Amino acid sequence: MATATATAVPYNAAAAAAAAGKEETTRPIAVASPTVHPAATGDEEEAATATRRWRPTQYLRKRRCLLWCCGCCATSVVLLGITVLVLALTVFRVKDPVLTMNGVTLEGVDGGPGSTPEHPVSVNATLSADISIKNPNVASFAFGRSETDFYYGGETVGVAYAPRGEVGADRTVRMNVTLDVLADRVSPSVNATDLIFGKEYNLTSYTEIAGRISVLGIYKRDLDIKMNCSITLEVGAFTTVQSKATDCVANVS
């Protein structure tokens, strides 16, 4: 029967290490994947730098634009306020029209014996008044039909009417109103001696005119002009007599 004989092999450390080294799998060094971390080229770096620089520039441009818009708005508000102030002091400042009684004339004075003891003398006359309206505004003044009442001895002796009209900007319009004096209210205070040798008669009048001033069709103001006058007439020899003195006071509301 054969007997197995084990042969001792001397241990070679170097050879074992070499064999172990061959068996080991070589692991490559990890390299960044271009799909996950793409490598930045020179152009991309410049673009990134330009973007970082552009953002502050864009912010400054927006800020300048905002400041410019605010400045324009503030300037527009100031100019609008100045314009409104100038218009309020000039165009939209409405001045009161001036109503004047230039004179009163008695025409066709006719006297004769009265029909009753209470009216020993009958007097007929036509009274004509010259009235002017001055408009100092830059817009026209349109007025309606006016009325003028004349009084003698506390009683109404006549009422005159003037048609509606219009006074242009910075213009003056004159109106002549004519009426027949109510003889029955004047005759008791008149006698033949007064008509021959002359006498002064004191009349009073009241005129009212309503109108409107329209500035550019935007600003409108209604005006009511009232005027009271004291008139002194000297009548004699059955002739045409004009007023000797006229004193008027006007009120505008």
Q: What is the CATH number of the domain that holds 243?
A: 2.60.40
Closest by Cα among 138, 54, 129 to 97: 138
| Cα 249 from Cα 209, distance rounded (Å) | 14
Residues 130 and 201 in one domain: yes
Residues 61 and 121 in one domain: no
Reported as a single tens digit per residue, the pLDDT across 101-154 is 988 887 766 655 555 555 555 566 788 889 999 999 888 999 999 989 989 888
On whether the pTM is more than 0.85, the answer is: no
Residues 143 and 50 in one domain: no
**Per-residue tokens: 240:** 């045409």
Residues 81 and 199 in one domain: no
Report the pLDDT value the prediction gives residue 127, as an integer from 0 to 100. Answer: 83
DSSP secondary structure, 87-108, as one string = HHHTTT-PPPPEEEEEEEEEEE
| Cα 135 from Cα 161, distance rounded (Å) | 20
Reported as a single tens digit per residue, the pLDDT across 215-251 is 877 778 899 999 999 988 776 655 556 677 888 998 8
Residues 152 and 52 in one domain: no
Residues 59 and 128 in one domain: no
**Cα-Cα-Cα-Cα dihedral sign, residues 50, 55, 60, 62:** positive
Task: Determine the structural domain holding residue 71 and report its residue range.
Answer: 45-89
What is the β-pairing status of strands 199-215 and 141-143? antiparallel
Number of structural domains the chain divides into: 2
Please state the φ and ψ torsions of residue 158, each to the nearest 5 degrees: 175, 150
Contacts of 150 (CB under 8 A, 6+ apart): 127, 129, 156, 157, 158, 159, 160, 179, 181, 203, 204, 205
| CB-based contact 150:128 (threshold 8 Å) | no
Domain presence at residue 63: yes
